[in-house]
Structure 1
Amino acid sequence: MTGLSQKTSYPSADIEVTGFEHSHFNNNAFDVVVGNYRVMDAAYDDQKFKIHDYFLAKSVDKLKAGGIMACVTSSGTMDKMDASARMYLAERAELIGAVRLPNNAFKANAGTEVTTDILFFQKREEPLGDKPYPEWTMLSETENELRINSYFKEHSEMVLGTLEKSTNPFSSGVDCIPIPGADLRQQLSEAIGKLSAEINRDPVDMDVRAVQFTDDAPLKTFFMREGNLYFKDSAEKPAEISDLSRKKRDRVIGMIGIRDAARAVIQAQTENCSDEELQKLQAVLNERYDVFYKKNGLIHAKANATVFREDDGFALICSLEKDFDLKKGILKNKADIFTKRTICQFSEVDHADSSEDALIVSIQYRGRIDFPYMEQLCGKSKQEMISDLGDKIFPVPDLVHPDHVSYQTADEYLSGNIRAKLNEARVAASQNPMFERNIPALEAVLPPKLRAGDIKVRLGATWIKPEYIRQFMYETLETPRYYQVKDKEFRRYGGLGNKINVEYVPEAGLWHVSNPKSDTSIKATRDFGTKELTAYQILDDVLNLRAPKVYMTVPDPGSERGEKRVIDGEATSLAQKKAAALQQAFENWVFKDPERAADLVETYNDKFNSMRPREYDGSHLIFPGMAADINLREHQRNAIAHALYGGNALFAHCVGAGKTYEMIATAMEGKRLGMHHKSLFVVPKHLTSQIGEDFLRLYPSANILVATTKDFKASNRRELMARIATGNYDAVIISHDQFKALPLSAERATRQMQQEVDTLTESIDRERAMNGGKSFTVKALERQRRALQQQIEKLVTAAKKDQQNVTFEQLGIDHIFVDEAHEFKNLLCPTKLQNLTGISNSASQKAMDLFLKCRYLDEETGSRGVTLATGTPISNSITEIHTMLRY
């Protein structure tokens, strides 16, 4: 902790918090060495020095010429018979003087009575060489026949006690006995006052103290070395920053100090430091910030942000300013890190008193039911816990692998498509009785079955089988038999001739009535049709949710042809009345037949009345590493639980509801639980720095990368992508526009779209075989295929130009959080509807890029890698929510 404190006090100094024997300081590097020596080092094995002597030898080698060393060591260094250590020191340094302390000097602290010396050396400008060794390397005898170092014989005033023969088997043979009543503090002060040495050193500003650069210095970091300012922009040699004005340089140095002080406070808290230690570090942080603020203003100020924005610690130091007026340059409130403990030590629960408690802990710390972990917590077997928990958990059938049985909590299992789960449970229970209890539990939450009278059925509903629409058409319009088709005719002749048929093409989302003008009966042209549009043509419009329109030609002298087409209002109104009549006739007909009604009711309930929403409870979430002073609200906790346990999610909360903290907490908690490893935040450009600051306010020790505009310049983009790919970041924050510059590989993007092309091609071939190459459906499908093929060509062309860059798949991103997701609503949505607000028939490049990346993450994560957030999921039309769901 002392080392950590010193690192904070002197952020530009190279301080190693390690044993001296493991340090790697350069020789001839220090002006002063001070030590209280107590572990050997291979570099001094040849001398076979004792521990104290080893440290003395290593220390003197670190001194610069003229440097001073003061050290406390055993009296054996000076008094022992073996002079090799003294000779080693004498070759390199002059003895300024020595003070022998009485053997009780350290009794209060160490509890031992040992005679010790304080030795003062000055490093020689040149080694001793062939000159004779000085007297102090030798021993002499006193009048009392005590063998001691010659220095102490000649300078008895430097012996602060009485020398006597030692009875301690571990001493050098002579003890220094304290003088009764003597004041050791005064004695020592007088003795040291007799020493003198000439020291020639220029004064050094500790704020620009040298730091030894090492290869593990963080990228994108400012630092000082030999009084010079450097920036490590790549893995290569750092670049010296020499083109800054004195004022800008001082700003950078000041922010380096604040950055390192803030990191020291954070690191100390993660190591569970004492309150006293924390307060010392906070005092340093407060002092450094206050000095900087008084001289340079807010860190957020443009002058400061401009020079330090590239540093990876910029978002951290910005988060220190909690409330401020940027226009006036006034700080209103500092962040709590200056005065409070913002990180509480996290310790995992290691015991549970019951199976219920073990389940809660397992969800908290593992994010799932983990029976081996639960067994360790409560000491019960898996079967005992299953019995104890009862209907709090349920076995999940796996009809493909019946021997594999997993368990889910009741809130998860008793939600989703209940009818499908009920069918699976009945099949599984017939093979294994353990699933029998699932059946009544699922039946209890099954949505009540709707009856025919509860269901509104309209022409064009895609869940209705085409054969029912065909049957309605033939019966209602009394289509002559020779115009009716049977399934056998498709297989026999491969075409329709002039026969009338209805079919639905799901790939295009279109219904199609073939040969709508073949029948000219009263029913077709008067009862349900008009002289301009037959009932079959009107039916085609109604099925495709189009309002029938009748056009007429009127003179237009100003045009090239002299005429133009306009809507015939009267004829159109009549046609739309016939359309309404057809719709009413269908509603009267559809449930009339009991067998047909039963089939349609069953289909509708299976498709649309089987879902039970899961209710997510986030009260159990614990959020290790979150700032202690921030408490999430209930709806935020529940939203986070939804995103963690429910897969892809949309936070559609109003402005001010806390969506940013929801996304950040989901990212960090998901990483802790192993659900994902590296999150990408895609946010509006003006919010990138703000989101970074919010991230570090909520999780002060998070490792994040906030990409700047400069990072995405052509010359820097490749390096940025390499940093993302190789860095162990908790989150990477980029803008909407920058997101497009992280390309999905052309191979994957084209493969995804080619699957759509292949599906369309199969539909085209099938339609051609049935109705010929000129049918309406073929033309519609071909238009969609051409549009997709053109997009594939663009992707391939772009990939050829950018072959060297890392692709999105290689970045290690396994979860994306898209803020203000409504900015991506312009996504292609094939539809048969006309003039429908909010639906786009063409996709923006930005929207298509996000869509393809979402599909990639779905493949990689099982639809658990996408979280969207917006306060306006619907801005113009209810149809916009469909686009959000497609992502």
Structure 2
Amino acid sequence: MLQTLQSEDRPATDAEKASLARWGSWGAQGVFQIFDETREDYAGDREHLRSLLSEAQYDAARRTTINAHYTDAAYVQAIWSTVQEIGFIGGTVLEPGSGVGTFIGFAPDTADMTGVELDPTTAAISQALYPEATIRAESFADTKLPAGHFDLVIGNVPFANVTLHDPRHNAGGHSIHNHFILKSLELTRPGGMVAVLTSSFTLDATNPAARREMNQLADLVGAVRLPTGSHRKAAGTDAMTDLLIFRRREPGQEPATILWETVTARQVDGTITRLNSYFDEYPERLLGDLHVGNGMYGAETLQLTTDDLSAVPARLDAALADVVAEAKAAGMVMTERTAEQDRQRAAYVPAAAHEWEGHISTGDNGFTVVENGSHSDLAVPKTQGVELRALLGLRDAARALLSAEAESRDDTADIDALREELKTSYSRYTDTYGPINRYTLRDTGRVDEETQEPIQARITPRAVAIMSRDPFGPLVMALENFDEATQTASPAALLSSRQVQPRRPVLGVDTAEEALTVTLDSVGEVDLDYAASLLGISRDETRAAMGESIYQVPGTDEAYQTRAEYLSGNVREKLEVAQAAALSDDRFAVNVRALTDAMPQPLRMDEVEARLGAVWIDAGTHQEFVREILNDPYATVSNAAGSMWDVKANRHTLSATSNWGTQRMPASDILKQVLEQRPVRVTDEGENNRRVLNPTETAAAQEKAQLLQERFSEWVWEEPERATRLIDEYNRRFNSIVLRDYSTEGERLSLPGMAKDWSPRPHQRAAVARMLSEPAVGLFHQVGAGKTAEMVMGVMEPAPLGHGQQARRRDPKPHAGAVRPRMAPDLSPGPHPRGIIGGPRWRQTPAVRCARGRQRMGRRGYDPNRLPACKPQPRS
């Protein structure tokens, strides 16, 4: 139905809206299981869904299953009634993680609603249901809006132990639910309200950091905890949730209380657990009875239970009435917008699609810069305005010329005219101001510690410094060849000749090898249909011609990988899959043979060190060892999970207290410490019940621990059957990886958009190919090997192939200024921003401006000793 509405480009009828409103989210019971590839019982539904959605839509839907649960209408109505009682009479309202738009559907007519929803399918359904609302189909982490933009934020935030990348609004790296609340508070004006359902962990988490950040921005007007199961009927989840109502404080006001920042320990059902201190003062706002039991997040989870879930809406209404009365008495109600807030709201101008973060514009009223997706006033000294306008003119002229070159392989009259316009503008600028990259030197009064020479600072003209912060600032700087020694410049090659050579479409090839090369360079993956069209033969003939240069991936619908890709990575796992597939399909016999040949040489026993607690040695083997050395046939060793071990054995035998242990720490206790990789320590009771280290007993116990470790390392390999089993397990776990050779893939790259006179070396091509294939790459080449060029090519290449939308680059701090600012435009002079920040006057400029889904490059210095983990970023 949704696809019909989109193809016919028309609004939904009332009947269609009624049908669309039944949509229950990808996370609903009976729906999220479709995305589990191991569930064969859902294979038919999965195949049908893939036929309806694009690959991007399918991936987005799968990502939302962990937190796509919608809200019971009774709770939605109660929350709307409460915010109206507290003072909302109309205005701009945000629903983050809006889903199908339940809160939008119950909004009063005076509410100007904006919803943010990650899943494009759900967002489209919401827009069809509520065409008068603004629905932004994007991750809330990517939402760019000015601070204080909304009067009210309302909704049910997604909750999971997931952290989204949002350096502006989640610098603390908080879980998704806390991140949503913090960003919502930032986007709410002072005097406005935020009312959201969230995980109970927002209030009950032991770490108070997120709550303290919230309290810096807003007062907690009230909180009500709903019992476990309250969302079962509407969302199919038993998550325990809290309704939190905040009032954004005016600047300069102190927090009303810090009570809710802390948690207190309390005993529930014989278990010590933690509950937010707020509920110590307001126990009636717990709509149920506290118990400890098995919950969504494991055993011994604090739960709030009730015998009558149907009575929860009425109890919620009563609790919220008490919250409203208290808020009115304390003056913590919503206030009307001030004149300044009205002015800021009226001045809001969203950025156009081509205006990325940092884009500078000029108009009759001065200059603006794009910040958080909207235009903000940019202060420019009056004496610098004329020059800045000239620089912006150069930027626009250069962009227009590069865009024209990228769109046509022919040197048309239009391109010639654009080049002449740019050349004239550049000459006019230099005749008036001098070179763009000019600077003066000023003594700082400091001396270099090594050379004892005076340290001088570069002083850049103010207009040029402002221009450098624009996404296309490096492009403007690259319009000339600047000689620092003479402070003179000559026009760059772009002003006299073509610099962008579009990819020439290949219409046909002669060999299967050529077809594979062109396919990978054009599409980025093995596409037999595309390769067949290049060869002018059938798909089956193309597959046969390519032979073992590609392999079909078992368990997929005719998906293929290159030889280099398929015969690398965890080849042992791939071999097991291929062997299983070959049992019923002879086509995969070639996979089995190739993977067998690619398998790493097995490690021998003398090449492996066996240690107590090693993950590749099972608990049964450890138990066998303990029984043998302690001569205790009833000893048990178990590994509950991770590093949690349990050792039970006789503690009073000679073996336990003398041969392998001590009187103070028997062998079983020592073994437990060693298995869990904890320090072996013996302590005595000191003053004030404090434990004090006993050095003598500790040394004795540590000596026994070393003896146990040494004996275990020998014992493991003494029995042939056990030794064979364990060395096979070690090889299976840790000797299955084959590194991929990217040399061939690198040679296949055409690198469209690179400067005509640039010819990368083979190792640079291989580096780019690797960057295209892996989510995070370290380029550990020697100095002078061309790492900067590799980074430029690697960042620019994904865009034509549709691989990446955001790219970031990090350099160790000692090298943060070693890259020429113009390096990227010199190598890749395309129409998109390709800025690398480098040099003293560039170090403080933020280069990370990855916005509006366009390929960008970012860079900043990092401390090599504090390198953050690199992993794909979740979205919501």
Give the TM-score normalised by structure 1: 0.48
Give the TM-score normalised by structure 2: 0.49
Return the index of the structure with the highest Cα Rg: 1
